[in-house]
Structure 1
Amino acid sequence: MGHRPRRPRASRPHQRARGLPCRAGGWRLRHPGLGGIRPTVNITAETEQGTVVGTRGPLAVVFHGVPYAAPPVGRARFEAPAPPPHWSGERDARLPGPNAPQPRRDRFGQLDLSPFFADGWHHGDDYLTLSISAPPEAHRAPVVVWVHGGAFLAGSTRAPAYDGESFARDGVVFVGVNLRVGAAGFLRLPDAPDNRGVLDVAAALGWVQRNIAAFGGDPGAVTLMGQSAGAIIVMDLLGRPDIHTLISRAIVQSGTGLGGLTGEQADVVTGALAAAIGVAPSAAGLADVSDEELVAAFPRLMDVDITRPGARAPMDGIVRYGVVSDRQPLVSLPDGAGVGIPLLIGSNLDEAALYVPQSDRSDASAERALHAAAARLNADPDTIVEAYWRPDRTPDEAHIALLSDGMFGLGTRLFAEAHSRAGLASTYVYEFEWRSDALQNRLGASHLMELPFVFDNARMPSLHGPDRLLGDTPPPRDLAERMHDSWIRFVTEGDPGWPAFTGPDGPVQRIGRSWTVQHAHRSAEFAAWGR
């Protein structure tokens, strides 16, 4: 992080108004030394389990691998998270530790995604942990708890793109969560609780409530933020009756309120996995199966059809693990406390461009794909095609637009409408439109594209190049700063700086080379899907 000089903190109006922390928290400095090219010192913090040793640099105090739950080993991989053990002495939290068992996903087709998935699985049992970046002088600072994406299959706090230093630099305590993914986190089993990865996030939020003051954070000002699979986890949690005791705001990026698996769909996945491995489809049957075997078996699930009568495959079938519920997050929201929590929510204009093979994007192929996607995703495909295949779009552009909304955009907009309709807390909606020229100008404003701007790390070299997310042409110089500042403003004040959404024709902040607030933005396209 820190790829360019920043304005002095006092010149940022939303931070002056908030009165961000300026006096020291309860840090204890020890063992001066050097870390990398910048001076650091070791620093300790006291948690309810024991003392952790992190590092203090010029911009942030950082702790890695801080446990919020006990290591999930053997049968415990399929149980609810248990409290972390206590320890005596000091626990070294200066370097990243293990992460959840997962396949390597640093390339996605032709695209290099190593900034978002690092180098894959780092083995070790003690991976239900947090990475914490805090302002050096933090005292009752606002807190962000980050839930990564990765199709419920991969991801961790080790990813360079999720470095929380930019948040710490701007007065926010950033907490990244390592959670169970894959079979351990989301495989439905008759003798185990569903959605163990979601239970992990809830356990992490409970730990934050009890401990974050020791890192300079305010437990009464916690924003839960997630992207993609992480966004769907946030949506699911917003439908729970006790979520108001754990968080005060929420940010949902590129999720969908229609992203849940029904119990029947999840059972199909369970049966297929158990058959592939040759064990009973239960936690007892899987107890002695190694993590390596579970990870290796996953590719065999992608050929399993999980479409069922009345239940399409979520996100057009790109996932096999996921949040399991017979009520979609969109349906559960009105019954949960999340309707009373301010919400910042949005998606990217060309989400689906990440998932459509470049070889399938000629006009003839795209026209066939357009009609096929409409038939998969809606009971009235002709109406959907008519709404999206406008004179100003090629067949490929129409296909990407339709598929993007079918996978993410529609479920995002309907969730925003449901939250706004309750009228108990403000809803702020955005659509991210800046288009990358990566993959020969075919990637556009795809899934993941907003992340370097939210984290203000768009200058990271590993994001640039013809096969990397941001392509060869640099984005506008102020786009990352402005978008990151809007997120900081929402975290600190509950208002990102544009008008609140008020329903289907309400204002939407369009974020791209220019910023435009537009009413009824793409309302005709969303209306074509029906209800």
Structure 2
Amino acid sequence: MDDHRLTRRGLGLAASAALTLTTPLGAAPAFGRDRQRVVAETRYGSVRTTPDGRVLSAKGVPYGRARRFERPGPPAPWTGRPDFTRFGPASPQRGREPNQSEDCLRLNLWTPALDQARRPVIVYIHGGAYSTGSGSSPLTHGARLAARGDAVVVTVNHRLGPLGYAPLARIAPGFEDSGNLGQLDLVLALEWVRDNITAFGGDPACVTVVGQSGGGAKIATLMAMPAAAGLFHRAVTMSGQQVTASGPLNATRRGQVWLEALGLTAERADEVRALPVARLLEAAGATDPILGGSLYFGPVLDGRSLTRHPFFPDAPAQSAHIPMMIGNCREETLAFLGDDPANAGLTWETLPAKLTPSQMRIDIAPDEVVAWYRAEHPELTPDQVLIRATTAARSWRAAVIEAEMRAAQGSPAWVYQLDFPSLRTNGRTGAYHTSDIPLMLDNVEAEGSGAAGLDGQAMSDRMTDALLAFARTGDPNHPGLPRWTPYSLAHRETMVLDRASRMENDPRGDERRFFGRIPYIQPGS
């Protein structure tokens, strides 16, 4: 992959190319009075791109179609030149995502030019667990990243919640794949990239999948799915891991609870194909028989699409050759707990009641946790201990496990910890869950970013260039960061990303060891 090698000179040339939207030799300059080539021919029809900042974009492009609760297939071919200037529908969900429709197998892409340059391709998979979100968030727009790195950027929508992960396979015939349909949608999207991205100036042999939160978990799951083998060549998971999937029996219990909430028996399960989607989503609010809270929908160990757990008992052999980057944020749970006024102004007496099983996700006595932090970290306030403890026990554990599994496999990951603080709307600061999205994707000024005006662009420059270097070469090193070495079990090397970034061995090692005494089970398993 020498043609993708990233150097200081290469970055300058890439930026220059992005500014001018270079076209094939002899073609007209971009957006001048002469026409640049703006129509790409895919296997399914023509796609007209439009200017989007310094690059071209196409939005809402169909990559597949599917009947409800069935495996996806290729999109229907089209004639003419449909309007691809607006984002396609998001999967139906209980969240406030606009423009929801079951016709959601759409992708968006940004490219510097429609030529034969064979640029690295970055496919971003959105978060929102497995139940909310879309690829049209302002934080994940790909125009700036594509221009900065002379890369092709793709974001993807797919089926979510019960439409994408309803565990009915052991309940009724005809639903054999229902527990992993969202994952199969992503496989189909990556097949579309493989088969069509050359028309948009991308290299199908240099595809990097990137995902935050649920997006990272989806990637970890894809790394163990035989159908996804060979479809991507690098993997980046940001605060999103999947050590184990739902076991088939626990998943079936969830499917039964969901049907009961719909007023259906197993014999009437087929009626879900025709019920209003609003009812399907409403029933997803039933109490989860394993976790409590609303029903969990996620990948299922079904013996068909997913034949092993993603990272248990080891890292998947099929992905051992794929370079992997694993990241986490130091105060992950500030995003979940920090906006609640009831979690502010805590005392040492009121803190233990906040360290509930639903927040810690492991079986440990809250009083023991509080006593340990008071002894080992006397500089922390009770409010800070709430965030640090719930992060270390709940949000960070799976990242450590995956890094350990990769190191034991002999294909270690590049691990980072984000310490750079972003700002919450209530004024609290920290490296919270989702704060690395705009930094990694060069969108610090986008709506929803907490990094704007806080030296965020300088931090983003370093993180974005690391992503681009990784996408080109499988190695995130570049001149803007200290030398980054992969994670080993001996040293647990981690890039700590901050205003003054540094390599550190086993950061927060005392917290890792304290909570590592308690068995960890992936939520949802």
Aligned to 2:41: 46
Q: How does 1:481-500 map to 2 (within 5 A)?
A: 481-497=461-477, 498-500=484-486
- For 1:332 and 1:27, locate their aligned partners in 2 and report how far apart those are by CA, in whole Å: 55
Is 2:54 the partner of 1:62?
no
TM-score between the two structures when normalised by the length of structure 1: 0.82
Maintained 8 Å contact 1:388/1:401: no
Gap runs ≥5 in structure 1: 1-9, 106-119, 308-312
Offset of residue 455 of structure 1: 1.4
Residues 295-350 of structure 1: CA deviation (Å, up to 9, x unaligned) = 2333x32x43424xxxxx7xxx6871122238542216533311211001111111
In structure 2, the CA distance between the partners of 1:64 and 1:440, relative to structure 1 (3 Å rule), is closer
The correspondence for 1:251, drawn from 236, 239, 242, is 236
- For 2:360 and 2:239, locate their aligned partners in 1 and report how far apart those are by CA, in whole Å: 23
Aligned to 2:493: 507
Offset of residue 28 of structure 1: 10
Is 2:124 the partner of 1:128?
no
Aligned to 1:521: 507
Residues 212-243 of structure 1: CA deviation (Å, up to 9, x unaligned) = 10111001000011111111110011123464
Aligned to 2:94: 103
Amino acid paired to 1:63: A
Aligned length: 483
Aligned to 2:11: 15
- For 1:203 and 1:225, locate their aligned partners in 2 and report how far apart those are by CA, in whole Å: 16
SS of the equivalent of 2:466 reads helix
Aligned to 1:323: 299
Aligned to 1:220: 205
Maintained 8 Å contact 1:222/1:249: yes
- For 1:40 and 1:103, locate their aligned partners in 2 and report how far apart those are by CA, in whole Å: 44
Offset of residue 383 of structure 1: 6.5
Offset of residue 33 of structure 1: 11
- For 2:24 and 2:279, locate their aligned partners in 1 and report how far apart those are by CA, in whole Å: 45
- For 1:90 and 1:17, locate their aligned partners in 2 and report how far apart those are by CA, in whole Å: 33
Q: How does 1:378-389 map to 2 (within 5 A)?
A: 378=363, 388-389=373-374
Residues 121-140 of structure 1: CA deviation (Å, up to 9, x unaligned) = 41444320110111126510
Q: How does 1:238-277 map to 2 (within 5 A)?
A: 238-241=223-226, 243-258=228-243, 260-277=245-262
Amino acid paired to 2:39: T
The correspondence for 1:392, drawn from 365, 379, 404, is 379
- For 1:391 and 1:371, locate their aligned partners in 2 and report how far apart those are by CA, in whole Å: 22
Amino acid paired to 1:351: E
Is 2:373 the partner of 1:405?
no
Q: Which moved more, 1:140-149 or 1:507-516?
A: 507-516
Amino acid paired to 1:509: M
Aligned to 1:436: 422
In structure 2, the CA distance between the partners of 1:25 and 1:367, relative to structure 1 (3 Å rule), is farther
Aligned to 2:162: 183
Residues 119-159 of structure 1: CA deviation (Å, up to 9, x unaligned) = x1414443201101111265100001111001211111221
Aligned to 1:350: 331
Aligned-residue RMSD, C-alpha: 3.3
- For 1:13 and 1:524, locate their aligned partners in 2 and report how far apart those are by CA, in whole Å: 42
Is 2:139 the partner of 1:161?
yes
Amino acid paired to 1:91: P
Is 2:288 the partner of 1:304?
yes
Amino acid paired to 1:432: L
Maintained 8 Å contact 1:257/1:414: no
- For 1:247 and 1:438, locate their aligned partners in 2 and report how far apart those are by CA, in whole Å: 34
Amino acid paired to 1:495: D
Amino acid paired to 1:211: N
In structure 2, the CA distance between the partners of 1:11 and 1:376, relative to structure 1 (3 Å rule), is closer
- For 1:421 and 1:18, locate their aligned partners in 2 and report how far apart those are by CA, in whole Å: 37
Maintained 8 Å contact 2:58/2:85: yes
Q: Identity over the aligned pairs, expressed in percent?
A: 28
- For 2:256 and 2:312, locate their aligned partners in 1 and report how far apart those are by CA, in whole Å: 27
- For 1:26 and 1:146, locate their aligned partners in 2 and report how far apart those are by CA, in whole Å: 31
Is 2:88 the partner of 1:88?
no
Maintained 8 Å contact 2:259/2:269: no
Maintained 8 Å contact 2:329/2:418: yes
Gap runs ≥5 in structure 2: 1-5, 170-174, 303-307, 478-483, 520-525
Aligned to 2:305: none
Residues 14-48 of structure 1: CA deviation (Å, up to 9, x unaligned) = 6369998986369999xx899xxxx9988211111
Amino acid paired to 1:51: S
Maintained 8 Å contact 1:78/1:184: yes
In structure 2, the CA distance between the partners of 1:257 and 1:123, relative to structure 1 (3 Å rule), is closer
TM-score between the two structures when normalised by the length of structure 2: 0.83
Maintained 8 Å contact 2:442/2:457: no
In structure 2, the CA distance between the partners of 1:383 and 1:123, relative to structure 1 (3 Å rule), is closer
- For 2:505 and 2:320, locate their aligned partners in 1 and report how far apart those are by CA, in whole Å: 22
